Structures are given as C-alpha cells and as structure tokens.
Structure 1
C-alpha cells in the first residue's frame, strides 16, 4: 500500500532497517535525481531505493498561544541548534501497550532515554504491585528468559525498586510530566515520539530577540513541533549515499519482501566493520562517504578512495584538556606514539581532599596557599595566603566540641617557617586553595609521565612533535593529562600507497564504506601512525562516562561552620604558575628536612592574619604585604566572595590583582636576587626553565 514518504519515515522503526522502497508517484526533472543544497529533491516514478538510515534534520514549528494554533504565520522552520531551553508538555494521548511505547519512544542508556509513564490502573506483578498513577521509569529494552521486556523502576520512600514489564503488557499508559529543560537538539534526538507531534514551551531564551528570530518578541506560548527527517538511501545506479528530506512530495511503497536487497551496495559504518570477525581481516573497502573535517590526510579518507583495513584492536590513549579558563576548554586524545616532550606545570588544588589525592610516594607534594581559611578549632590550623606546606598523610584528629570531643578527618602537613618546620593539621572540609610548587625542570615524554606520576597531571609542550606537519598540542598554553583510556581502532592504509598505515577511531569517525571483492593476502603491517584527536565536549563526556562508569568521584568536603569573613584575598589562576615558580638557583630538597637557610628562602610572601588567628604561634613572622597596596581596593571583592561561600563557588578575583601581585614581587628577592626585573614579565623565567616560588618580603 502506497503512502507519502513523510508518513512512512515517521512510522518507521529503526530496528526494521534496511527497507527497499519503490517510488509510486514521483517528480521528474532532468534526470532521476536532482540535488539541491546537499539533498536530492526529485525522484522519478518507478525508482527503487534502499533506505539504510534516517535522522531528524530540522523541526517545523506551529505557534500555539492560549490553546489556539496561530494561522499566520502558519509555520516556522527551526534548525536543531536554535537557541533556547524548552520544557516538554506531557502527551495526553495514551499508549495501548508496552510494545507500542518501545516502538514510538526513544529508550536508551543516557538520562534523556529514560522516559516516565503511569497507568490509571494497578499493575499486578509476581512480587510487586505497581499502584495506579505511580511514576514508572523505563530504563532499557532487553530479553528476559526468552521474552522481550522493558526493565523499569519505581521509587517509594526514597528506595528504588526494579522490575520488568513484557512488551505484551496491555493497558493505558500516559506520559508523566517532565520538569527538566532541554535544547531543541536534545528534544529532537530523544523526546519526539514516532507518528506523534511534540508540544514544548519556551522556558528560557539564550540570546536577545532580533528581527531574524522567527518567533514573536516576548513569546511565552507553546510550539507544536513536527520533525523533518534526512533519509539516507542507496540506489542501484550509484555508489554514493543519497540524502533525501522526508517532506519530499513523493509516494512510496515498501517492496522489501519481494526485492533482493543484495542487488544494492551494502554501506557499512566503522562500527559495522569492527563487528566483523578477526578472520575476515584484512579486507579492501571503498569509501562511500568520507568524514568531514578529518585530522587525517585528505588523500586517505576522501570519498571514492580504496583502503585496506588490516585489523581491529584496542589501543591506548591519554585524555587531556586545556587548563585555561578564559574560553571553552578543548579536549584531546593523545596516542602513546606522540614524539613531543612535556615540562611539568603547577597544579591548582582547590581543597584538602585534592591535596590528599595529589600526593605521591615519588616526591613530597609542596604547595602554597592561595586562599585563607579560619579554623573553628584550636587543634586544627588556620591558613593565610602564602603559607607553604609539605603534604604528609591523612589522619584522624580529636577536636573539642560542646559537651566533649569528636574525631574528624584531617591532613597532616609540615608548615615551612623561616627557621624550620612545624607539624600542623588541616581539616579535610577545608574550602581553601593551593597551587603546587615545581622543583623539576626535566623534559618528559608521554609514556614516562604515565609510568612515573599519578594522573591528573599538568604539563606544557616544550618540544613539539617534529614527525607531523602541524602539532596541535604545541600551541596549547597548558594541558591537564586526565587519565589513560583504551578505545577501539581500525588499522588502515591506502590501497594505492600501502607503505604507511593509520589508526582510525571506530566510534568517533563518521564514515561509510562498502567492501570490494578483492583478494588480499595477509602481509607485514607497514609503519603505523596515530593522530592527536581533538574531540568535542560531547565526545569528551562520553569517553569519560564509558571509561569510568564503575568509579565514583571523591566525596565533596562538608561545609565548614559559618565564620566572620576575613578580608584576605584569593589569587587568580591566571599567572599563578608564573608568580609561584622556583628560581633557577633554588635547590630545595622536598624528600627531607630543609636546612635553615633554604627554609628562610621560601618563608617570605605572607599577609597579615586576622584576629581569629591570634592563637597561632609565630603569627608575627608575616611581612606587612598590605602596605604594598596589593590588598587595597579589593575588600569588596573579598566580601562578595564570602557571600558566595555557602555555594562552594571557588571564584577568583579579576585580572587586576595579578598585576598587583607581580608588582609586589618585583621588589621581592631571594638571597638578594630579585625575582622579576623592573618592568619584566614571567615569560623569560619560563624560557630559562625556571619554576618560581615566593621569596622573602623586604
């Protein structure tokens, strides 16, 4: 039975692909296929195509205000990246069975793919009764004891209960209210049921209204969304992928059951190739649709090229991110074969928990406090900006409370004084801030870092990879190597020049190929190359999710008791690694106690303690840095920061403070040698291989 292409695609279950269609009523214009804007817009009657996939390309929205659909404009076209956050309005049309829900609603592994429904009637199961109007969360579709079922869950008295519902379960099921907000792209991918429209309400605009905005100014109504799909298909007469829009004015008929689908080329994604058995490799494939913006040679992965796929395997990568904060971070996957060299950079450690996690057996962790903390207990240490510590280990400490003593977690450290050391305890709930002091100017290669240090680890490229034309990491001001991961890769080479092979990722490279019936004998794999991949924010979170799905993050430090705010400043991140580096002539040994003259060299930069810290010994050792003007004019910033303290918002003051700190250090010296020359910057320190640290105050 013939139907419009739009109706057929809207009702098509992706699990039923591929489908062979015959055009029953088409449009002919100078050939069977006419392309415009990257999509074929005409098909002739009698044409046969095989649909291999489809996805939402755009949304047609009708404006609904006061429960009435506006007649003019009749509809507006919205791209998936149209700005704004939207709330989904629950569909009041019931579903007749669990099987209908699974056919029409997207159910997947992410939080977007967990729809919620309720039944107006009780559902009696073997060991559980689902009460009427109780919210049921659909988590996944799986085979249970030979029967297809949906794994579900309900929450009662803050306790989760899991159960399964077979697809054959009938009844009335209604969609629950969804109080989350989504982007249009998220709604298109997860929240539009097949064969149904979706009503959404604009909750928050992400940009100011202008004349190009198709929605009315100050619009507060609802939108009825209808998806327009992009259909991927193949034809007998063509080797490439045909792209059709589902609103093309043609009628089609499904002839899959009476047509030999093998007459068409079989496009395979890289995931499909990876699922082949190892015995089927090597194989020859022709690229039907190459990736866009690829980081690989253009003559290797362009459409129409033949490649040899030698084998499939798991390969190691190091996940890295930029350390800058002035713009969105870029993320990279670095192969172990990367030939550049790195130098260490100081780490920002915001809490005492981070200090405990960052310490290692290889060397003692040396840090400088960049944020003040007033301890509510005399047994625990109060920190001022500029205090320097050698981190020891975590331990329990008894503190006095009303009515007795209480054991709390604390971090044992050695406070560096002008004439020696003092053992102190920092509370683990401390909302402080620290920066690492580096005593190491060695250049490391990537495998050395992974072998000798714990990740995450801050570095900067000191020698670029000379084996590649352009090293994307060399231009990055700072990198945090976060973790080692393993991922799926295919080893390929060009069929025309097989002397060089490349590792290509299976799940991050959108590419379609079809296998070429050519015999190829297994041979020695040529020299292998691996590119540094720059990945998107979404890919970054997916990589971390799959790599760490069994790991739990460290606990958040509990909030400390509210204290009277003290006017102590916080040092911004930008410039910390320059201001707090160790000079070239500074030879601290953090594996043992320093001698008095070395300790005196790092005791300097401090700020006056508030009255709450008067019980500390040696409080008078601090130089009156306030006289230099560093703290003047920043009291308002500090008070605003203390007001945000309850939100655990580790904010930094603006860039002007950096210049004040640098000016204060220009007159500061270590061993009568100035840290920074008059009018100088930190750049020459870095070029000299210096890692700086605060010196004595005059």
Structure 2
C-alpha cells in the first residue's frame, strides 16, 4: 500500500540511511530555479507519476529558518558555532506527556529540568510553584506505577530527591538548559532536529531558529541510465511506493569498487559505461581512450594484484611513470643508485644492509663545520647513524653535537698489487679489519656518491621485491615476449619507486575480447551497469587472452602515490648555524704567508675603486707641475756616503734610454730558424750602453 504524500525535504529528513534503497513516486511540485535535470545538467524534467529509486543521501548543509520573520539561510555542516535548545512555550498537562516527547533512549538526554506552574503535594512532601525539578532517571517497577526520580534544591543550598509518578497532572513547563550542541550533533539526532535553537554568542541573541538538514540525493530512474543528483530542498511531493514496485527494473549504476563487492558469479559479464573517467585522469595508457560513455566492456575476473611503480630518470625527455604488475615477464638487471647528499645515503642504508658507495666528486675539508675531505674513487661502507661534536673555537663555548653517518673507508681491490705474496695479502686484510679508518659524514653534508654493486644477475620483477629494498635502480635487459610492445625496453635506467597491493578488474573491449588490461579500482573513477548482452565467445569456451601488464600513468598519479607513502616522513636535517667570526679567523690563519705576499702588489687600493663607477668615467690624471724640464733628474747621494765637494754622481744611463733616438742599422747576425726561442738581437752601440749602465750600478753598490 502506498504511503502518505510528503514534501521531499521532510521525507528525506526522516529517512534512515540504512533502509535504502527506496522507490518514490512524484505526486506534484513547484520548481523555482528550474527542474531537477537542469540543475544536474539534463534538459528533461520530472513529471507526475515518475518513479525514482533513491540509492544514497549525503548531508550537504543546514537550512536555518527564523521563526519570527520566516527568513531562511544556509550554514555549512562544519560551522563552528554552538547552539542551545529553546524551551517550548506550551505547557504539558501531565508528567507522562512531557516525558513521552523525549527521544528514545532518554538516558542520553538526561538530566532534564522542568517546573510546575502550581503547587504539588507528594505524600508527606509539598513542592512550591515554580520550583525547578531535574530528572535524574526514570524508574520502572513491575506491578507499580512508573516514576521519575528528580533532584530539587531547597533553601540554603540544601538538596533532596523526590519521586514523582508519571500520572501526575498539572501545568508543567520545560526549563532552559545550559547544554550546547554543534550542527553535526543536532543533525545526527532526530529528537534534536525537531527542536528550536538559538545561536550561543557573547551577547544575548533572541533569534529563534528551526534547523533542517539539506541532503544531496543520488537516485536512478527506470527509463534512464545515468545517476541523478539533486538537493532534498527541491519543492516536490513524493510518496513511498517501495512495497508496490518491487518488480520494476531499474538499471543500477555501479562503481568499480561496487563491482568488486559483488559475488564471483557475476563475472564474466558485459557492462556498459555510464560515466567515463574524468578528464584529469591519472592514467596515460592507450586503452584509456576507449573508456567512453556508452562503450561496452567485458569484465573477465577480479582479484588483488601486487604491482610496482616505476619511473624513468629525469633528462632531456619528459619523465615517464609506469604501473607494472609483478607478473611482468621481462628480465631486469640492477643499476647502481646515485646519491646527492649524505641524508640520501642514510635513508638508503636503513633499507639496504651493508651499503657501499664510491665518491664521484671531490669534497674539500671544512674543519669548523665537521666536513671531511673526500676524493674521487674512494669507497665508503655505511655502518650506522651516530653523533659527532663540531670543533669549538674556545673552551668556554659548548661544542655543538650533530647527527652523522659513520662510514669505513674500504680499499679498492684494483689497488692491490698483483705481485704481492698471498701471506702479505692475508696480513693486510687482517690489519684492515682490525684498524678500519672511520669517517663521519654530517647528515646535512652535500656530496656525490654512486652505489657499488656486487652482482650482475638478471632478475624477475617479483624476485627484486623479495630480495632488495625499494627504491631500486634497474634496467630491463630482455623484453616480455607475451606483450605486443614492451614500453620498458630502451630506458637506460628505471627506478622502482615502491610496491602496492591493488584490487583490480581484468577487462577487455567487446570487439577485442582476447586483449585484456587491468583496471585499478582504487585509482579509476567510473560507473558501469550490467547489460543482458551475451559474452563474445561460445558458452564455456573462453578464449586465451594476453594481458597488458604495463600501464603508463601520469605525473599526478606518481605524486599522489608519494603523498600516501611519505605522509609521516621527517624532512632532512638542516646544517648548523655558522660562526662567521670564527670561520674568518680560521681561514686567515690557514692561508699561507707566501700566497698573501705574492698577490699583495695586485690589490687595488680602495681609493681607486671609489672613483670607478658604471655610470661615470674615471677622473683624468692631474696635470704635471710647473717648471718640469725634459732633463733627467740628478741622483741624490746616499746618506751614509761621505761625498766630497769634487765628487759628482754618474748620470743614470736608463734615463737617457727613454729619450727618443733613431734606431741604427741592425746587426748582420741572423736568427737561427731551427731555434725554439724568438729573441731580438741588439746592435753594438745599444749593447755597449747596457754594459756601461750595469757597470755603473755595480760601482755604486760597492761604494
């Protein structure tokens, strides 16, 4: 039998979500902002008599109506304000009537306070009018009348407990409660939703509100395939006809997760795509283009598959990402990993025991920062993470302790002399084991290292996941022969970022039932519905199919995967603060004296730099003083020399050389063509002048 016609808002507000699905019939309605299909993107409207099947409801917001002026507005469910229950103004004629309006499970809404408008006499106890009574519990006894146990305050803060029969009559009024509720708490209780509230503020607020939930309804129709979504505030009357329309066939849309929850007997089967994946999809594979609306798929089987996420190295080409099933049949060889910091070494050492790396770039030693010197080709064996003290500048300062990676320097086996005797080699190995050189690398230190591998074997993808920790650098050396084209072949290096267990559905297109691919249910958002179309092969003769084990995904997929995996990972450590004064003084002490004196003459004075700018030219040189003659200056005698009156200083031959002279004929001596030098020859007169000048200088020095 059909139910009573109710407004859609009232029906949905009183609906228990666990009772879904429900079949409703449209009775009448008024559309203010267009029909429901215009809201959801369709041009068709509801008609009287239409059947809709409600399959889900979701709370969207809360509608608030002012009782005084009928003004309405909406608040989000996450609204942080608190609300207080407004007491009802109408009196109750009996205690039983007042308590019957309390919600089921009354203990959760106790204590409850009320007062009587008239005086009450209870056996030997009399209560005055207006005395507040707080209900603590409801007592039920077999063969006796039910009573409410109440707490009452007397004079001088005295208190007592009384028991009032439910049949007591009079005029009872509800008292204001100090308890406050959030919108979520109010919407989750049918009893609270039927009450009136006022918003709790610092100032008094007399605005009385009626709160109503606004849901988004998900429904399907018997003549349409897509899912309808419309608000419950749509002004339309409906009637519940679920019992009368049990045989009406509705095409039920299913998500991939819902397909997985169906029994195994539902597969294989043919489905139709109702809602295709979103435009910003996480996948870039070739079969994604075929997942269009109204396309048909064959769902073969479902299960949980172990998969690995692989990425290509960053380079000239755009980086690519692949989701690969562990059933991939290609052969893979390990590749050494590159590390650009000590922190990356530490993270890798926690996943790989006995990690050994080789230094690929020199690192200069910085003593005050605790950075050791490393040379290209040195091998380091990672031992553990420890702490080290930075060298302090003075004894008064407390040394700073930082996290560091303890390593052992390992001798390269190629450096050992092949001609050494076996006994000497054994002794060297024993000494190296007893006295290993320890190196401490701060975690914040930047460096360049490459992993040293000990094997050159070929593995399957499933073997790598069991024997080694991820991430892992690999190269595909032989393709999977079962694939038409293996996209992993040709990359010089691929990195296995991580592994996952994914629920998947093996599917194929209707025109190519033997070409299958994997649909990851947790990463692909689409809806399908089962059809009555037969399978594209004879009954019981399922063809042998090839499965595409490699699926190319987008960069967005990679970042979403990293976000889920590294949600709680701590950031790398920061380097300690530098003491600029100590670093400058240490650098000044460590600088050799010869080097400073060598470059002393090349330093330009500050005054010269002050006259040089980008916008102004350098100031011209000052003019020569007056009275300057072209004659060479006389040489002032040395102070310690006693020069007589007749003694004269010899003229400086170098000064005379600066005077312009005509160059005489060159010597007949010819340069040797075969000589490596390119010296110029001097004529005889110039050679004699140089010789006499040298003798004059030597004479002055002796005197």
TM-score by structure 1 length?
A: 0.46
Structure whose alpha-carbon radius of gyration is higher: 2
Higher helix share: 2
TM-score by length of 2: 0.46
